[in-house]
Structure 1
Amino acid sequence: MALLPLLVLLGAAASPGGYANPAPHALRNFFWVVSEPGPGLPEFIAVGYVDGQLTVHYDSETRSAEPRVAWAERNLDAQYWDGQTQVAQGWEALFQANLDTLRGRYNQSGGFHTLQVKYGCELRDDGTIGGFEQYAYDGGDFLSFDTKTHTWVAAAREAEITQHRWNEDKAYLQQETAYLEQECIEWLQKYLTYGKETLQRREPPRVQVSDRPSRDGLTTLSCWVHGFYPRSVAVMWLRKGVAVPQETNRGDVLPSGDGTYQTRATIEIDRSRETDYTCCVEHPSLAEDLRVPWAPKSNVMLIVGVVIGVLVLVAAIAGAVVFLRKKNSGYKAAAAHEGSASSGSDQGSNTCVKA
């Protein structure tokens, strides 16, 4: 298969005890064709991501592969982009024909239908590599390449014809394996060099823990992890320091719009039984896992209430002391004034009353 960087499918769920995306670096390609194009939806679209960063875009309306990131435009010449355009145009014609074939297999004469493929490769933390290629029809699994057996596997009965035909072509199987395990990896390494400043940077995650009432008197704890790069991350709730993966609900890892990623993990608890919960985050930028404990609101409010109560009490006592001092001073001054008046002196009257 010729190289065409396309769309990375984001949002894989985190696996218990591991990163949501175990590969720190990945080249993921995606393109699709639709039976009924419309405004804003070309008949054929091809886009590509390296480590979640958009690098190229092609569609049947522009008919041109265009760079979408500065480092790709700066390091790849016009010959490269012309080649990518030719490859995309070839895939466009092939996919349009394949979509018509599949509509016939599914006995569909009209309506909105899609044919999609995702393929690419990744460099993992342990130094190993991996490749993948998957086809989908109308959003359902159709056909995939097994990189262990180097054969195609059908996920639907309608895909068995294609499966047998492609598996019988030994030259094609060798070409597919060579691309996923060699050529794709070589290009991924080139891209990582071209975009080193952004693709190989490390930004540690920021973590915020909160809670809210849930059903039946339970409480939902939420751990929002954001501002991190690269995308690889693992988020887990701990109870008394022990991971509870079966009870942790992990959300997708999504782009934040500023070049970083975010995700969220929640857990539903009975706060009347246990309150010792901690959000644990693992990320390549961290030397060790980051742990942020949950502080029950009731305890926090109690502490705040006690502090406020003490401050109010101190203020009241201080106010009372000042009041009593002023009152005593005023009484003594009044008594002295009355004593002066009874002695017949004019000094007090001349000072306070003016003609």
Structure 2
Amino acid sequence: MLLRRAPLLLLWGLLGSLVPGGRCGSPRHSLRYSYRRVSESSRFQFFSVILLDDQPIARNHHHTNAMELLVPWMGAEEKKNLVDLERVFRTDLEWLSNFSNQTEGLHTWQAILGCELREDGSKGGFLHYNYDGMDFISFDNKILRWDAQPQAQKVKEKWDNEPWRSQRNKVYLEEMCIERMQKYLPYQTESLKKTELPEGKVTCKVVNDSLEVLICHAFGFYPREIQAIWMRDGEACKYESLHRNVAPNSDGTYYVWISIEIDPKDRNHFRCHLEHEGLVLKEETARVRRILSEIVATVGIVPIMMLSLILIFFLTYRQWRRLRRKLCHVVENVPLPQINRSPSTDDTEDETQSQRLP
């Protein structure tokens, strides 16, 4: 029985060794909305994008000016909710643009809002308005007040005197946004049960005869966590590498690139090193297949050994039965000794002697 269970125990131990260690707390999740109004004189364009855990799930199509869903699990009801929310902040951005009398030249107004679930289980919300890429005014949902830059003081005074606006923002950031995120997460988890390997590519940009820039691209990978570094002769070039933040693709994957300035003569000494969960799983899968093949080879020998033992046992048992029958036959054919009765006139003595003989 132990021999039969050994491959299963080995396989169970192997799979157990591949399970990653537990982490304290829960993963961090976020739902973020970005609305942007770009105006120039009397013309303007409006853009919006909604991201769940930095993955775009919906956006405003600037050609058709309609909300476009990017994930299959969002239905018509969710689309209507997104359109209603977009209408609110589109109105706010238009009001800010007119209130500030910034009608000449190219200007950008942006509203960024959302909520998050942190690793320790706490919740948070945020709402910021930016002007030309700079902070303009932000909402503090804890004290229901607005924090404004000097150029936004008039806006702060007006909005602080509108309790309904502050209450609306607080309810959405602390309740509705969290509820929607918790509703979206199971769908996202189910649809993103995948691991995409990063595709690496290195390009070279010549600056002059003594300077080149090597750029390492990693794209099309999921999940987001990745480590990319330039190596020189096996040593990490941590301080020489210029990193760019990991950014999402429209298909739910990510990309990143890092660059390094080198002397063209040393080009062959540099290598781009990537570490990603998909690459680890690929190596582990190969290891599992190799060990499983060894297990299969071992299990293939076991039946032969068992059959051999059974055959030996059967032959031994058969030989033992033959020997036993032969011994019994010999015992049964042993002639009994002849018992001679001596003549006696005493019948009692003959009877006693007859009783003793057996």
**TM-score class, shorter:** 0.5 to 0.7
Deviation at 1:34, TM superposition (A): 3.9
- 1:220 to 1:171, Cα distance in 2 relative to 1, 3 A: same
Equivalent of 1:96 in 94, 98, 102: 94
User: 2:316 — aligned with what?
Assistant: none
Deviation at 1:230, TM superposition (A): 3.1
Q: Which has the larger radius of gyration?
A: 2
Residue identity opposite 2:113 in structure 1:
Y
- 1:210 to 1:97, Cα distance in 2 relative to 1, 3 A: closer
Q: Which stretches in structure 1 are left out of the alignment for 5+ residues?
A: 1-22, 291-355
Tell me how far apart the structure 2 counterparts of residues 255 and 35 of structure 1 sit (CA, whole Å).
Answer: 26
Deviation at 1:233, TM superposition (A): 3.5
Contact 1:51 1:199 in 2 (8 A): no
Aligned residue runs from structure 1 range 276-355, under 5 A: 277-283=270-276, 285=278
User: 2:30 — aligned with what?
Assistant: 26
User: 1:86 — aligned with what?
Assistant: 84
- By relative contact order (CA 8 Å, sep 6+), the higher-ranking structure is 1
- 1:263 to 1:147, Cα distance in 2 relative to 1, 3 A: farther
Residue identity opposite 1:55 in structure 2:
I
Tell me how far apart the structure 2 counterparts of residues 195 and 148 of structure 1 sit (CA, whole Å).
Answer: 30
Aligned residue runs from structure 1 range 1-355, under 5 A: 25-36=29-40, 43-58=45-60, 65-73=67-75, 77-78=76-77, 80-103=78-101, 108-123=102-117, 131-145=125-139, 152-154=146-148, 156-163=149-156, 166=159, 176=169, 179-180=172-173, 182-209=175-202, 213-239=206-232, 243-255=236-248, 258-270=251-263, 277-283=270-276, 285=278
Residue identity opposite 1:113 in structure 2:
H
> Could you state the TM-score of these two structures normalised by the residue count of structure 2?
0.55
- 1:138 to 1:210, Cα distance in 2 relative to 1, 3 A: closer
Aligned-residue CA RMSD (Å): 4.3
Provide the identity percentage.
Answer: 34
Deviation at 1:175, TM superposition (A): 6.0
User: 2:344 — aligned with what?
Assistant: none
Residue identity opposite 1:153 in structure 2:
D
> Could you state the TM-score of these two structures normalised by the residue count of structure 1?
0.55
Contact 1:24 1:231 in 2 (8 A): no
Contact 2:48 2:60 in 1 (8 A): yes
- 1:100 to 1:252, Cα distance in 2 relative to 1, 3 A: same
Contact 2:56 2:250 in 1 (8 A): no
- 1:222 to 1:95, Cα distance in 2 relative to 1, 3 A: closer
User: 1:306 — aligned with what?
Assistant: none
Contact 1:24 1:230 in 2 (8 A): no
